[in-house]
Amino acid sequence: MTEKLYYGNQYQTEGTATVLACRPVEAKQNAAACWEVVLDRTVFYPTGGGQPCDLGTLNGVAVTDVSERGEEIVHRVTAPLSVGSEAVMAVDWDRRFDLMQQHSGEHLISGVIHSRFGYENVGFHMGAEEITIDYSGELTRQQMQEVEDAVNRLIWRDLPCTVSVPDAETLRTIPYRSKKELTGAVRIVRFEDADICACCGLHVRRTGEIGLVKLLSVERFHSGCRMELLCGGRAVRRFQTVFDQNRQVSGLLSAKPDRTAEAVRTLRANLDAAKLRAGALEARLFALQAECYAGAPFVLLFEDALTPDSLRRLTDALVKRADGLCAVFTGADGAYQYALASKTGDLRELVRRLNAACHGRGGGKAGFVQGSVAASRSELEAFFASEGNGMLR
């Protein structure tokens, strides 16, 4: 049985222990060799309760994973340790404290949501970036903001967190949150005036250590909702990133930092108006261009920087005035987009030959096809010259 020092003091990150076992792990193909070490006691928290495990070192050897198997806490390391020797343990404190902040913040959020709306926490994932929590009912964005405000007020009150393992009779009297009825040794985590929950994870001693909570999003998920959030240092770092981005946007738009959204809406409206005007001018240009090819038996054009929609509209304008095949290419040597159109012939066999000869792909209907080729202009001109009058055979 491994003594769990992290439950006695979640702030302890160093210590010594005796190596009880060291077993090689069968390595997968191309995987680095590793060993599983069992100690008589440990400061390393194993994955559990929705909280990822601690990382750190044993005698300077990297600990890459920690798991609980029955009575043992198993440490996966990158080099073997001698059985019976003393191991110096060192936990990555920054990682542990970050995870404690996230997990403690989750308790406050779930406690507030449970007390206000009666919803249960039915899923919890602590990722490397964001935290996600699934609840049994739906929340609006307004309700999400109200929950965030309430949780941060609890943090500012610097409320204590206590942990106990009550006897069975006492446990029955405690209104704790749990996904199911529990028996035996149940670890109860209580945040004063905020939450009581059965949990095996590690938490801060007082809510003030969480720092702050920021709820990022809420969306419908199955029959309830999924919330995305950040706590503590993660929330501060995200704010710093977003603030810096907004400062740059503010400078680019010559707008005050608290007026960037308004400036973007104005910019978007101006852009939409410019697109409409450009589209109308482009349509007139395409019509005039098509007039130059009225009655032409074959049209082959190379145009600069057309969008897929403009490419289609130009080809459509041309085929209405020409009498034969119209082929329009846009781009540069080695990377052309194309559109082919014909009022009378079936283009699909021609396109098959074009794609085969010019490393292309694409297709469409009998009278109109679009695609791309990895060829030069001279190669494309040579292809159509070789096809001659038999292009639509």
Q: pLDDT at position 392, please?
A: 64
List the chain residues with pLDDT less than 50. none
**Cα–Cα distance, 45 to 64 (Å, whole number):** 12
Does pTM surpass 0.85? no
Give the β-pairing of 224-231 and 131-135: antiparallel
CB-based contact 79:19 (threshold 8 Å): no
**Cβ-contact 191, 213 below 8 angstroms:** no
| pLDDT value, residue 393 | 56
Predicted confidence at residue 136, as pLDDT, reads: 96
Q: Give every CB contact of residue 187 below 8 A, 6+ residues apart in sequence.
A: 163, 164, 165, 198, 199, 200
Q: What confidence score (pLDDT) does residue 32 get? A: 82
**Among candidate residues 129, 108, 93, 104, the one with its CA nearest the CA of residue 51:** 104
Tokens of 230: 């950040």
H-type alpha helices, 331-393: 348-357, 377-387
DSSP string, 276-330: HHHHHHHHHHHHHHHHTTTT-SEEEEEESS--HHHHHHHHHHHHHH-SSEEEEEE
Q: Output Rg (C-alpha) for the chain, integer angstroms.
A: 33
